[in-house]
Amino acid sequence: MRIMIDGHYLPGNIRVNRDLLITLANIAKSLKFGIRYDAQRELVLINSKDSSMPPLPTDKYVEERIEDENARLAGKVICLDPGHGGSDSGAKGPTGTLEKDNTLAIALLLKEKLERNGATIVMTRDSDTPVACTADQEELSARVDVANHAEADLFICIHNDAFTSSTAAGTTTFHYGDKESQKLASLVQQNLVEKLGTKNRGCRFASFYVLRYTNMPSILIEVAFISNIVEEMLLSSVDGRDNTAESICNSILRYFKV
Ligand SMILES: [Zn+2]
């Protein structure tokens, strides 16, 4: 979608988005600017001198766009696996933040974003608990079972990296070597590094249990190093978590080419 004000294009081409359209319509209304949307050209026209321009057909247009947006991942089942939980805190940052809290917060934000695009989300956990519910069940196999029983189309496992040296930094995405997982991993890795500005440690093969035994394309993301104080802030901040979730969501949309 492009925006034109008084005959001049604003730089950039942005994805049509309900919140943006409603905001633009409200701003134009309060400034008494004319605004209308040319659906054919995906163009918002704003006229500061002529408020008599027909108003943006908010209701019908927005409803249609919402349907489009919502349909993009319709029928897709995505399993999100926030690493650790309950008595297993995962790694601990220098200021005391816990990996299990960061992974859950990111996964919950990602769930929301994917659901807005029509996906069905299955969480291995959605609170601070382990996934295995009986003492004799292995934690990792419980996580794999959730994804396999749901017949999910994708499995996304979220972790924070940690190392003894506090200078270790960056993002890594792991896969188990099959073509589809590699494709998803490379999209996620690229988007995350661009958005977070972290060091690119690359997409790597790993024989992690959750990657080996899930029946669908699956990846494990080490978003950043919780043992590094700068990246610890990124992982525990609202913005850092939201940017992480946004990047993963965009990568999934690109993976499905929608
Ligand atoms: Zn972990």
CATH 3.30.1490.120 fits domain 77-255: no
Digit-coded pLDDT (tens) for 131-149: 998 766 799 999 999 999 9
Distance 81 CA to ligand 1 centre (A): 11
pLDDT over threshold 80, residue 183: yes
Quick one: pLDDT band at residue 25, thresholds 50, 70, 90?
A: confident
Confidence of residue 247 (pLDDT cuts 50, 70, 90): very high
pLDDT tens figures, 168-181: 999 999 999 999 99
CB 21 within 8 A of CB 61: yes
Distance 82 CA to ligand 1 centre (A): 9
What separation in Å is there between the alpha carbon of 39 and the centre of ligand 1? 46
Task: Report the pLDDT averaged over residues 42-52.
Answer: 79
Q: Domain segments of the chain: what residues?
A: 2-71, 77-255
pTM of the model: 0.76
d(CA 204, CA 207): 10
Predicted pLDDT of residue 28 = 84
Q: Which of 43-57, 96-110, 139-153 has the lowest mean pLDDT?
A: 43-57
Q: Where are the alpha helices (DSSP H) in the chain?
A: 18-31, 63-71, 99-116, 139-149, 179-196, 209-212, 229-236, 238-255
Residues in the chain: 258
**If you measure from the C-alpha of residue 28 to the centroid of ligand 1, how many angstroms do you get, rounded to a whole number?**
47
Question: What spacing in Å lies between the alpha carbon of 226 and ligand 1's midpoint?
Answer: 10
